[in-house]
Chain A
């Protein structure tokens, strides 16, 4: 069972908008920045969002992130078939001396 909670799956049609939630607690999301990763099956995860809402160079502005309290959200607008992948949130947890934590992952299906 993952420390951060994500919905197992979401789906939407091409062109639509989808949001993926990531829920934690004060020791992790509540006091640390959140990052988001896209993983296409068979490949390594790729950084999509860092510091809650910043995009690395080369990531389209269709991808955006936000954080409020102990939850974070990834939004993808103008869905494309190429966005079909698994998405993970990640952050640091300050308990037990500190350690990294991830959500269980959300499978995005573009209908």
Chain B
């Protein structure tokens, strides 16, 4: 059974870099059918797609966040990672990682991790 688990600091200072890792178990991150995604949800608000990465390293980013994002993948560790630079309070959110079949559905999702941007 495929499982995804987010990990990383819960508190990040404004202007610094937010870094999260998603560990994949139960399936190969090199499966050619899937992309690996980051999605976030600010407290009390809706879902926002951040970006995704293919096992080859090809990436797609949300145009509204492009320039502050970097996604990477480490197939040997079955992990993919997110970096968001120059964070502000607006980046405070629950961050989810999720598998995506091609350009289609997101399933499954990790349990999510709350990241707070505050000094």
Contact = CB atoms under 8 A, between A and B. Distances in A.
Given A88-B47, A100-B52, A104-B46, A47 B105 contact: yes
B28 interface: no
Contacts, number: 70
B46 A37 contact: no
Contacts of A50: 101, 104-105, 107
Given A44-B96, A44-B109, A88-B46, A100 B104 contact: no
B67 to A, nearest CB: 13
B79 interface: no
Contacts of B103: 32-33, 92, 98
Size band of the interface chain B makes with A: 20 to 34
A35 B105 contact: yes
Interface of B: 37, 39, 46-49, 51-52, 60-63, 96, 100-101, 103-112
Interface of A: 2, 32-33, 35, 37, 43-47, 50-51, 56, 88, 90, 92, 96-105
